[in-house]
Structure 1
Amino acid sequence: MERTKKVTIQDVARYANVSVGTIDRVIHHRGKVSPEKRKKVEEAIEKLNFNPNMLARALALGNQFTVCALIPSAPYPGHYWTMPLNGLEMATAQFKDYGIITSYYYYDLFDEKSFIKQAAKIAELGPSGVVLAPLFLRESKHFTAKLREKSIPYIFIDADIPHGQSLSYIGPDVKQSAYIAGRLLNSMLPEKAEILMVNMVKGFENASALRRMEEGFRGYFNKNGLEESKTIHALTIQSTRKEEVFREITKYYIKNPEIKGVFVTNSKAFLISEFHRKHDLDIRLVGYDLVEANIAHLRNGGIDFVISQSPVQQGKRAIQTLFDFFVWKKEPEKIQYVPLDIIIRENLDFYINFNRHNQNGIKNNQ
């Protein structure tokens, strides 16, 4: 393999199917490593033509790389944003010996001012790089313009801003994920049905991904000639508080009693499921992400499908990408889509066990 391809220690770890820590112990002859793993590592180093001295020289420079992560706060255990945070923390721990330091700044999903305040702190600090969840569109554009002025690279996670000039976007193809949601929901509905798309955000127009989500969702029905048989409504609720969601959905269902299917565009499908069960409503439901509350409602049948967007991997890959950029000067792909997993009650336990085995599980993430 040509050296210009810059084989990394992570490439060796993946090839040998061991941790980066194991590679480090073998290279530097420290700690305990089983003979079997040592052999795997040595074979991988030889096969990939990895030169650990390159990394050693980089470390000898004594560089530290400060990463600032600006993401939504998680107001309670089991909230969606505990999962990307977990991924960021895992990767930071993995690379801490190589100069990566991550500081975390949190903003309120229903308060743009909190975003502005935290973004200003980061801009003043002038870090080596930034990981950003750009969920407030206007404020994110203003912040990233400041980062570009200071030549600070930034990575988007969870949501992208088209033409946002990020180093990379790591997350789902939100338009495609909503298209999939449309297909899943349609598979459970009668020939003629009314469908509701529920957004729980401060403001639809300033939410960076929701317009593309709606395009994707409606796109499935338009592409398949279903626009006349399936009537799609949209409801934006400016809260995720249970009592407020229940109040708004009650008013909507009174005015629109023929709703047969609901697509929730965030990880709060469990709130709609709880409302349906409380009022004994037979309405099909599709939502996002394996948060604990969604798991419970997937088990009891209140949620039919959950689309998982690999939130832990988003955080891990963001730090990995910045590490490769800082140390190896490796330009990442502009778009790094994460897998979209379709989860139902019948395969739920498989995903939970698989995730736990890979240290990305529900308990560890939430």
Structure 2
Amino acid sequence: MITINDIAKEAKVSAGTVDRVIHERGGVSKKTAAKIKSIIAKHDFQINAIASSLALNKRVQIAVLIPDYDAGNTFWKSPMLGILKAKEEVKKIGASVSYFSFNQFDEASYVRQFKEVIASKPDALLLAPLFGSATKGLAKELDDKEIPYVFLNINLEGCNNISFIGQDAYMSGFLAGKLMQLSIKEKSAIAIMQTRANLDNNHAIYKRIKGFEDYFSSNKLSVPLLNINLVDLENTEVLAEKLKTMFVENPYIKGVYVPNSRVFRFVKAINNTKINDLVLLGFDGTEENVKCLENEKVAFLISQQPFKEAYEAIKLMVDFLVDKKELDERIYSPIEILTKENVQFSKHSK
């Protein structure tokens, strides 16, 4: 019986390319696809025999290292689901995906899991480099072992990653600045919430804040920007007291910028009367944030497509390993603006 490898040899393409045509996954020219389909028809190849007939020259293993999620921090649930969906699909062409996760607020947890990943000897790694300084040191081990790696969501500079898949954090912050400036009244101040102890160790958050600040400086707008350090967001009562004090000491604050996915925490902690006098802007279309948007407690959410980013990342890495298809150095996701009026039509409502 003819196999996928036999078809690939006759068509003078890789087995992975044949599989893409069979499963209609795109990425193959019309001419090549037509040639492969003609060979399939000629030999009466049965598609339902794919699993038993597939024999790649090398079975590939991809490791994934991304943060855990919980009820209070749900952003990473979507990438995880995208990875699991892709995992089932690439299994058909002999690729396996190993999933590792870490506590996004614990650098030691990240380092431990990174070591576990390296010990598993993957052919490639998809990584969310949440802790910048630790990643740069650990990435050298990947380089030494010649394990290619792709960054997801956070575009950490100074490493030899073969690609980055995610949003342009600086431009998303710049856009947030524009939205905020258009929404607040004159003679208002804006509070920039810094919720990480070591901001320069979190590249994406740092870039979002830098882009936000640069919007105002590049447009010569004399709007007071106040950097407020509030690391502990879990205790709503304590957070509420700190915010109350902030507003008393800075009565001109009319805008609150939260450069991460936890703007809903601030909504819970700000007095209902006070919040109606504020413009809150945050990131990511998580369920909690979307509720705040729909209730008009948050004016805008800057969002991306985390499920699709992670799903496509796995598929592209399989193409890289199996078909030797080079990846673009940066694969940017759209910068979406979610509002009460349009959120029901976005992918986040599905």
TM-score range, shorter chain: 0.7 to 0.9
1:302 matches 2:297: yes
- Quote how far apart the aligned CAs of 1:176 are: 0.2
Percent of counterpart pairs with the same letter?
Answer: 28
Q: Is the 8 A contact 1:69 1:103 kept in 2?
A: yes
The correspondence for 1:75, drawn from 70, 77, 80, is 70
- How far apart are the structure 2 equivalents of 1:286 and 1:211? 16
Q: Which runs of 5+ in 2 are unaligned?
A: 1-11, 41-49
- How far apart are the structure 1 equivalents of 2:226 and 2:13? 53
Q: Is the 8 A contact 1:109 1:201 kept in 2?
A: no
| Structure-1 residue corresponding to 2:7 | none
Q: Is the 8 A contact 1:310 1:338 kept in 2?
A: yes
Change (3 A) 1:340 1:68: same
- How far apart are the structure 1 equivalents of 2:87 and 2:72? 21
1:241 matches 2:234: yes
| Structure-2 residue corresponding to 1:28 | none
1:346 matches 2:346: no
1:261 matches 2:255: yes
- Equivalenced residue count is 325
Q: Secondary structure of the equivalent of 2:134?
A: helix
- Quote how far apart the aligned CAs of 1:63 are: 2.7
- How far apart are the structure 1 equivalents of 2:287 and 2:30? 41
Q: Secondary structure of the equivalent of 1:321?
A: helix
- Quote how far apart the aligned CAs of 1:249 are: 2.6
Q: How does 1:61-100 map to 2 (within 5 A)?
A: 61=56, 63-76=58-71, 79-100=74-95
1:177 matches 2:157: no
- Quote how far apart the aligned CAs of 1:50 are: 5.7
Letter in 2 for 1:284: V
Q: How does 1:186-335 map to 2 (within 5 A)?
A: 186-226=181-221, 228=222, 230-243=223-236, 244-281=238-275, 282-335=277-330
Change (3 A) 1:303 1:326: same
Q: Is the 8 A contact 1:156 1:168 kept in 2?
A: yes
Letter in 1 for 2:287: E
1:148 matches 2:106: no
- How far apart are the structure 2 equivalents of 1:50 and 1:304? 52
Q: Is the 8 A contact 2:197 2:231 kept in 1?
A: yes
- How far apart are the structure 1 equivalents of 2:19 and 2:273? 51
- Greater CA radius of gyration, 1 or 2? 2
Q: Secondary structure of the equivalent of 1:187?
A: helix
- How far apart are the structure 1 equivalents of 2:233 and 2:115? 27
Taking structure 2 as the reference length, the TM-score comes to 0.84
Farther off after superposition, 78-87 or 150-159 = 78-87
The one-character-per-residue Cα deviations of 1:199-223 (angstroms, maximum 9, x if unpaired) are 3224212112233222211111112
Q: Which runs of 5+ in 1 are unaligned?
A: 13-19, 25-40, 356-360
